[in-house]
Structure 1
Amino acid sequence: MKDNKMKIEQRLQNMKKFYIKAGEMIDKLPDAIPEKTRTLLKDTILGDKDLKNLMEGIDSHRPPRIFLIGRTGVGKSSLINALCGSYVANVSDTRSCTENAKIFECKDKDRVLMEILDTRGIAESESLDNTITAEEMLINQINEFSPDVAILMLNCTHRDDVNSDVQFLKKVTKTYSEINKLKLPVVVVVNKCDEMAPTRYKNPVEYPEIKVNKINEVVQYYKGIIMKNGLKIDNIIAVSSLIDWQTPDGMEIDVENIDNLPQYDIDNLQIAFDGRYRIEELLDILEEAILDFEAQMGLRMASRLNEVVDRLAKHLIKIFSGISATVALTPIPVSDIYILLIIQSVLVSLIASLSGRDISLETSKEFIFSMGGIAGAGYVFRLVAQQATKFLNAVWPGSGSAVSSAIAASGTLAIGKAAIAYYLDDKTMDEAKRKFEEAKKENQET
């Protein structure tokens, strides 16, 4: 099975290499594959906009720069950990601008996940001297930092007077736009939803309706203040950043005591309880709000590497299912059995490459055959049965091909899901077979 220590970045690099060589690989397909099919494969895979953007982003991503503003105790560090899905907010401050603002590099070992300018709300700031006001000082710091997005953090259970912070942020965004000729996106995060009554419900899936309604009321309250003050925001969302941590040996630890642990334990902290609420939605909002493509990709690489791989694999399945459906529309019975097998083999090879494995088309074929029974006999018989539907064309032109196309697409979809289970989710071959059968059954019912 795949090496669990393989870095996902390396998997993506392997995928990029495979993608770059895809044209050459298609050109070297067996002569039995028609030129029209080769062209379809190449144009569909290499010409896919989303896939191309993702591949470009692998090489040209950078850590997003996030400007955080919020009062003390609002949960900035917990939000950082929640976004990253790991304990990274215990980083030391790498460089300072001036008093009251610090720039942090949040890291996972040597990899920089994101850069964060942590500031205090304007109501809590003080000027350095009589020559510069607190507002001017912070605006200078923010312009020097050049953030990709600003996050205004508010507390779900303490409705502090945030008018001054909203007014300050309004001034910052205006000044930033004037100086840099760029819009500074603003996302408002209402944190600590878990502390909303009834407080005994910490697991988001168990939030009762009364708790959700209260959370929504707070969001509307803050939204009214923001609108009244004329601050333009990209979105506002209520979240919980609650995560309880445990050491590698299973001992739960209070956040306040984490810094006292041995460094090994800190570096390998695990999630004991995940009380995060709507963090995935927040990531989507931030990704949409950030205007710089490299920073967008950096956010994906920082906080959702596994999701990037999963999304990419599912996107490949969608592409190849469509290609299979198109190929199966040919009116000549049995002619496309081999072509479909090759198409599905390419799909399996690409999915396998995401796990860090560089497998051949022959190995991919063996995987496909294993889904159908001993020596692949069952799978081949099903393909032949699929082709038999084309004989319906003799009685009702077009009917047989339509049935065959649907079967080809659903079969490729099932093969792709089985490949994800085996190569990416580290399932056994028997478990992958069950996934294959489940996917086929789902396709038959839809």
Structure 2
Amino acid sequence: MNKCADINERLQKMKNFYLKLDEMMDKLPESIPADTKKMIKDKILGDKELKELMEGIDKNRPPRIFLVGRTGAGKSSLVNALCGGYVAEVGDVRSCTEGTKIYNCTDNGRTLMEILDTRGIAESEALNEKSAENTLINEINEFSPDVAMLVLNCTHRDDVDKDALFMKDIAAQYKKINNVRLPIIVAVNKCDEMSPTRFKTANEYPQNKIDKIEEAVKYFKGIIVNNGLKIDDIIGISALIDWQTKDGVEVDPENIKNLPKHDIEDLEMAFDGRYNIDELLQMLDKAMVDTEAQMGLRMAFRLEELVRRLSNHITNIFAGIAATVAITPIPIADIYVLVVLQGILVSLIASLSGRDISLETAIEFIFSLGGVAGAGQIFRFIAQQTAKLLNGLFPGAGSAVSSTVAFAGTESIGKTAIAYYIDGKDIKAAQKMFKKMQKDNKKK
């Protein structure tokens, strides 16, 4: 799970670039009017969502999840499936009572998620004793979960009503003590065991298997709702993963504990049968109220999605700024402003890919999309090649660029930069993509 360190570095690079934008705008040539510079700075640095995302890069914490489910529901497997590695046993940091255990999901020493596992306590007769129930409630309060997850077995329909009532009682007491509702997600696990059972790879599930999974989820949902338990969402999943040692020896789950510690810590996936785990993470994210926990979840498990969200958001911001700049017909000389603006956009997107590129390099990338070769003296080149630039980047614009053309052109450049820097497409594929978008823009 080394991708976490990589993405953190990429996000930090983007934040550093973002923090330097104010200074960068001030250093732009005087040919760009001061009020235009100020407008651009205010639009970028004043964007609330972008500001929150930038702050969230540093202000985040591991989400805390309260896990409830019967023995055999696959709670430990689900922990591993969420973390993308074998952590449920080696990550055991402490035991609370006989019925609970806390796991830390870690990557290179960084805690990604904390899980309070009841270890089948829902079926324990001890809960008939008020003292045992109070002890559990106290431990839940001390843990202070961001969300609770009730794990059910897709192929076992007995005692679901008891599990729902147990969760309902816990949620009611939590709200009474903390004066806040505990969000609850229901994960119907082991969907891979639904017939036809020979299909274990998620993208190979036949429609009749998917239909049976959906029917089971609907059945469980009915029981849960009819027992008065309020939930945030419910989903059918599979946490199926087969494990092997680094030297390729496959190990049955029940025998993993017999391996040397270093083998356990280095276990790799021999088979990935996970189903709907990304969708489950989305539900957990949506159910959480604490923004720092949300960002922690996104940075730990939804990293590429976070990068794409940031990339698309800043593209929309810059396209909007371009339209504002061009709210009235732009004199040819003012194309300079748009190209500089688009260069900053490309630099931001490149920073998210882990690359540090100069504004000059970013503008050369833009020129290459329109079929214009890069230049050493970039700003002088813009002035000299304005007509060619207009034809390459703003087709049909004539001697002035409308706000619609400026928006569409900047949006196309942003999307192409995402394809090149984030998705790893080569320059020829990026050029082809850009030209297609420009052709489509002409038709609008």
Calculate the TM-score normalised by the size of structure 1: 0.86
2:317 equivalent to 1:319: yes
Residue deviations 1:261-285, cap 9 Å, x none? 6666655555454433222222221
2:136 equivalent to 1:138: yes
Structure 1 distance, partners of 2:278, 2:95, is 30
Are the equivalent residues in 1 in contact too, given 2:99–2:119 (CA < 8 A)?
A: yes
**Could you tell me which residue of structure 2 aligns to residue 8 of structure 1?**
7
**Could you tell me which residue of structure 2 aligns to residue 350 of structure 1?**
348
2:123 equivalent to 1:117: no
What letter corresponds to residue 22 of structure 1 in structure 2?
Answer: L
**For the structure 1 residues 110 and 232, does the alpha-carbon distance in structure 2 shift closer, same or farther, using more than 3 Å as the test?**
same
**For the structure 1 residues 444 and 88, does the alpha-carbon distance in structure 2 shift closer, same or farther, using more than 3 Å as the test?**
farther
Query: Displacement, 1:408?
Result: 2.8
Structure 2 distance, partners of 1:259, 1:381, is 70
Query: Displacement, 1:355?
Result: 2.8
Query: Displacement, 1:65?
Result: 0.7
**For the structure 1 residues 268 and 375, does the alpha-carbon distance in structure 2 shift closer, same or farther, using more than 3 Å as the test?**
farther
Structure 2 distance, partners of 1:74, 1:145, is 22
Runs of 5+ consecutive residues of structure 1 not aligned to the other structure: 393-399
What letter corresponds to residue 383 of structure 1 in structure 2?
Answer: L
Structure 2 distance, partners of 1:351, 1:33, is 23
After TM superposition, list the pairs within 5 Å mapping 1:111-260 onto structure 2: 111-127=110-126, 133-245=131-243, 254-259=252-257
Moved more, 276-285 or 169-178: 276-285
2:315 equivalent to 1:306: no
Are the equivalent residues in 1 in contact too, given 2:369–2:431 (CA < 8 A)?
A: yes
What letter corresponds to residue 21 of structure 1 in structure 2?
Answer: K
What letter corresponds to residue 73 of structure 1 in structure 2?
Answer: G
Query: Displacement, 1:45?
Result: 1.3
Query: Displacement, 1:361?
Result: 1.1
Query: Displacement, 1:105?
Result: 0.5
Residue deviations 1:113-147, cap 9 Å, x none? 1100000344532539x985432232222122111
Structure 1 distance, partners of 2:236, 2:121, is 22
Moved more, 103-112 or 164-173: 164-173
2:23 equivalent to 1:17: no
Are the equivalent residues in 2 in contact too, given 1:332–1:390 (CA < 8 A)?
A: no
Structure 1 distance, partners of 2:247, 2:439, is 41
**Could you tell me which residue of structure 1 aligns to residue 370 of structure 2?**
372
Aligned match for 2:390, one of 384, 390, 395: 384
Structure 2 distance, partners of 1:222, 1:231, is 12
Moved more, 374-383 or 50-59: 374-383
What letter corresponds to residue 66 of structure 1 in structure 2?
Answer: I
What letter corresponds to residue 28 of structure 1 in structure 2?
Answer: K
Structure 1 distance, partners of 2:292, 2:77, is 25
**Could you tell me which residue of structure 1 aligns to residue 378 of structure 2?**
none
**Could you tell me which residue of structure 1 aligns to residue 100 of structure 2?**
101
Query: Displacement, 1:161?
Result: 1.0
**Could you tell me which residue of structure 2 aligns to residue 30 of structure 1?**
29
SS at match of 2:101: strand
Structure 1 distance, partners of 2:219, 2:8, is 42
**Could you tell me which residue of structure 2 aligns to residue 415 of structure 1?**
413
What letter corresponds to residue 282 of structure 1 in structure 2?
Answer: L
**For the structure 1 residues 390 and 432, does the alpha-carbon distance in structure 2 shift closer, same or farther, using more than 3 Å as the test?**
closer
Runs of 5+ consecutive residues of structure 2 not aligned to the other structure: 376-381
**Could you tell me which residue of structure 2 aligns to residue 395 of structure 1?**
none
What letter corresponds to residue 303 of structure 2 in structure 1?
Answer: L
Are the equivalent residues in 2 in contact too, given 1:166–1:229 (CA < 8 A)?
A: yes
**For the structure 1 residues 384 and 123, does the alpha-carbon distance in structure 2 shift closer, same or farther, using more than 3 Å as the test?**
closer
Query: Displacement, 1:310?
Result: 1.9
Structure 1 distance, partners of 2:422, 2:57, is 19
Query: Displacement, 1:5?
Result: 9.8
**Could you tell me which residue of structure 1 aligns to residue 337 of structure 2?**
339
**Could you tell me which residue of structure 2 aligns to residue 397 of structure 1?**
none
Calculate the TM-score normalised by the size of structure 2: 0.87
SS at match of 2:235: strand
After TM superposition, list the pairs within 5 Å mapping 1:58-69 onto structure 2: 58-69=57-68
Structure 1 distance, partners of 2:443, 2:243, is 42
Residue deviations 1:79-130, cap 9 Å, x none? 22332334433433111211110011111120101100000344532539x9
What letter corresponds to residue 232 of structure 2 in structure 1?
Answer: D
Structure 2 distance, partners of 1:131, 1:239, is 33
**For the structure 1 residues 268 and 445, does the alpha-carbon distance in structure 2 shift closer, same or farther, using more than 3 Å as the test?**
farther
**Could you tell me which residue of structure 1 aligns to residue 379 of structure 2?**
none
Percent identity of paired positions between Structure 1 and Structure 2: 61
CA RMSD, Structure 1 to Structure 2 (Å):
3.1
Are the equivalent residues in 1 in contact too, given 2:90–2:265 (CA < 8 A)?
A: no
**For the structure 1 residues 370 and 154, does the alpha-carbon distance in structure 2 shift closer, same or farther, using more than 3 Å as the test?**
same
**For the structure 1 residues 416 and 263, does the alpha-carbon distance in structure 2 shift closer, same or farther, using more than 3 Å as the test?**
farther
**Could you tell me which residue of structure 1 aligns to residue 282 of structure 2?**
284
What letter corresponds to residue 289 of structure 1 in structure 2?
Answer: A
What letter corresponds to residue 38 of structure 1 in structure 2?
Answer: K
What letter corresponds to residue 283 of structure 1 in structure 2?
Answer: L
Structure 2 distance, partners of 1:264, 1:423, is 36
What letter corresponds to residue 414 of structure 1 in structure 2?
Answer: S
Structure 2 distance, partners of 1:388, 1:438, is 12
**For the structure 1 residues 169 and 5, does the alpha-carbon distance in structure 2 shift closer, same or farther, using more than 3 Å as the test?**
closer
SS at match of 2:32: coil
SS at match of 1:182: coil
Structure 2 distance, partners of 1:4, 1:93, is 23
Structure 2 distance, partners of 1:149, 1:31, is 53
**For the structure 1 residues 257 and 415, does the alpha-carbon distance in structure 2 shift closer, same or farther, using more than 3 Å as the test?**
farther
SS at match of 1:370: helix
